[in-house]
Amino acid sequence: MSAALEFPVDLPDDPIDRAPALGWTAITLGIATLSLALTNAFSIESWGADLPPSATVARLMDETGHWRATMDRIGLGAPRETMHHSWKSLEEARWPDQQGAASAARDDPDNGLQG
Partner 1 sequence: MLFPTLTFGVFFLITFAAVWSARSNEWRKILLLVASWVFYGAWDWRFVPLLVFSALMNWAVAQGIASERFIDRRKALLLCGVAINLVILGFFKYFDFFTEQVGATLAAIGFERDLPVLRVILPIGISFFTFQGISYVVDVYRGRVVPARLLDILLLMSFFPHLVAGPIVRAADLVPQFQTRPKLDRSMVSMALLLIVWGLFKKTVIASELAVTFVDPVFADPASHSALDLVFAAYGYAVQIYCDFSAYTDMAIGLAALLGYRFPRNFNQPYRAQSLQEFWRRWHMTLSQWLRDYLYIEALGGSRFGKLATYRNLMLTMLLGGLWHGANWTFVIWGGLHGGVLAAERLWADVGPKRWPPLPAWVKVIATFHVVVLGWIFFRAASFADAMTYLGGVAHPFAGPAGFTASPLIVLLIGFGLAMHAAPEHWMTDVAVRVRRFPAPLMGVGLATLILVIDAMRFEGVAPFIYYRF
Task: Give the footprint of partner 1 on this chain (CB under 8 A).
Answer: 4-12, 14, 16-17, 19-36, 39-40, 43-44, 47, 51, 79-80, 83-84, 87, 90-95, 97-98, 101
Select 79 or 106, whichever has its Cβ closest to partner 1. Answer: 79
Cβ at position 115, least distance to partner 1 in Å? 25
Which amino acid appears at position 99 of this protein?
A: Q
Cβ at position 9, least distance to partner 1 in Å? 4
Select 90 or 115, whichever has its Cβ closest to partner 1. Answer: 90
For every residue of 59-115, DSSP letters joined together read HHHHHHHHHHHHHHHTTTTHHHHHHHHHHHHHHH---HHHHHHHHHHHH-TT-TT--
